[in-house]
Structure 1
Amino acid sequence: MFALAALSLTVLPFVSADTALDLAGIKAHFTQSKIVPDLFESFNPEAVLTVNFPGVGDITPGQTLTQAEAGGYPSIKVTAANSSVDLGSTFTVAMVDASYVGQDDDDVTRHWLMNGCTLSDGTISNSSATSITEYGGPAPPEGEPAHRYVIAVYQQPDSFSAPEGFNQANMGISTFDFEDYLTNSKLGALVGATYMTVQTGEATTSVEATSSVDSQTLSAASQTGSSSSGASATTGASGSSSSGAPDGASALTASSAAVALGFLGFLFA
């Protein structure tokens, strides 16, 4: 029994490191895509969001989707950075169109806004939520570069109060000042966010250049910071701006699992 307990303690750090890798990856993607600072002045997620679209599956940060692929109602899984993170019990979910790279207007298009969401088995539930704006899929103007559609989850504390004009259900898709909404509603900390890109037709407008995510740099950082804890984890690995798959983490986890299975076989041989 003691040997089994020790084995569990050996494997668990690699599992939590996996989430740290994903957190570092999404932070790098948000900087690379210039969502920071176009939409967010800073970005310090406390959890990883896994968004799943019907017929598509889980998407990776910055994944390119068609309007049809992103048209279905998505599910959102929330994975905290570590066991010490208190995400709260009530949440606000939003999806906004941050336009294409280089656009930083205060007003963004609201495609989804739900208050009073909860977590059920780690997945966002809208069973008791108020849908201010029902989910509406991306519809970027034809001829523009790919638009960045950001899905974000915020803690909704008891002090939350929907601002005037946003306190009733079934408002249509429209532009609004997202930062102003966050401030005036007294929403809590950002839990997590991810994004996808959607484009209609060929772009006839040039777009500001972006850099790719350096997976080797992130991987090296993860080895240094994996022993530390906290919601502000900045360690991890990510693929290119369209993949988001933490290859380094997967390799570590697979290796740990192999060692664990081999050790179990030795114990019970």
Structure 2
Amino acid sequence: MISAQTVLALAFIPLVFGQTNNTLGIEAIEAHFSNSGIVPTLLSSFDPSALLTVSYDGVGNLSPGQSLTKTQVGPTPNLQVTPANSTVQLNGTFTVVMADAGPVGTDESQGQTRHWLVNDVTLTGGSAPFNVSTDDGTAITEYAGPAPAQGSGAHRYVILLYSQPSSFEAPDGFDQPDIGVSVFNLTDYVQNSHLGSLVAGTYLTVEEGTATFTPSSTAPVITSTLPAAQSTSTSPSSSSTSSSSAPSATNAGKQSSGSETLLASSAKTFIAGLLGFLLL
């Protein structure tokens, strides 16, 4: 007969592996931002405390860097945010921004086209993942689907969630709603408005036609080499190697699948060992 201690231990397992999965997800998105050049060209650094999930109707949840068409990214996406661990508290209001960082290698000092900017955003839901609600927010720029120029390469559209402290103050030119799409400098806006920490972020790519130049190369993200994956691997057979280049939707899907396979294998090993110990 299984003891009460065993039942309690088994009930704890989803929490343990949920935290492991979040840790791996944080490390993976950090690697994607670095390998795709978003860090340090657009953002000087990226240390998220939560995972941002973006989904479009008819597409589903996106993988980092997933390639989509203009039609697919036409409607306003749904956003959800999941704290990295139980110590992260997501309270107050937030700002959502979507900026076109251009193809890899773009000179970000020239500014970015702003496709979405909403202040006073709130989180809804009783537990994670929380829905990011822009319904009652102040939409400085209503969502405008990406539309890169023909032949201009795969543009990286970065979606970011910032905390919005009481010291937040919209800078000149951004203090009225519905100002439309235009070029701005993301770094300047964050600094001048006194936005808080960057809570979470992800990105997608959209390309029209074939690039008329040779795009800069990007390094793959090999999920199984990340520290969180290494810490859950107990044997060579339980490791999984997968890679993802920034513009590739197929490879991004492989990365997600590899992470799930790794965690499932590690979970089986952990559970088997735990049961063996507790049933002695």
TM score, norm. by length of structure 2: 0.83
| Aligned partner (choices 154, 167, 171) of residue 146 of structure 1 | 154
> 1:256 and 2:267 equivalent?
yes
2:100 to 97, 102, 124: 97
Partner of 2:235: none
| Root mean square deviation of aligned Cα | 2.4
* DSSP-derived class of the 2:108 partner: coil
- Counterpart pick for 2:173 among 165, 168, 183: 165
Counterpart CA distance in 2 for 1:225 and 1:157 is 36
| Structure 1 unaligned regions, length at least 5 | 227-235, 265-269
Provide the aligned length of Structure 1 versus Structure 2.
Answer: 253
CA distance in 1: counterparts of 2:6 and 2:117, whole angstroms = 49
Residue 110 of structure 1 is matched in structure 2 by 114
The higher relative CO (CA closer than 8 Å, separation ≥ 6) is in 1
1:237/1:181 CA distance change after superposition, 3 Å: farther
Distance 1:25-1:38 versus aligned 2 partners, 3 A rule: same
Contact 1:222/1:237 (<8 A) preserved: no
1:55-204 matches, within 5 Å, as 55-106=58-109, 107-121=111-125, 122-204=130-212
Quote how far apart the aligned CAs of 1:141 are.
1.1
1:39-59: CA deviation from partner (whole Å, max 9, x where unpaired): 011111111111000111111
CA distance in 2, matches of 1:27, 1:187: 20
SS in 2 for 1:9: helix
| 1:37 aligns with one of 27, 33, 40 | 40
Q: Is this contact kept in 1: 2:153–2:211, CA < 8 A?
A: yes
Note the alpha carbon deviations across 1:100-125, whole angstroms, 9 max, x for none: 11112221000000000101120101
Check whether the contact 1:15–1:253 (CA below 8 A) recurs between aligned residues. Answer: no
Which stretch has the larger CA shift, 91-100 or 198-207? 198-207
Partner of 2:237: none
- Unaligned 5+ segments in structure 2 are 233-239, 276-280
1:6 and 2:9 are equivalent in the alignment: yes
Q: Deviations over 1:157-185 (max 9, x none)?
A: 11111111101110110000110100011
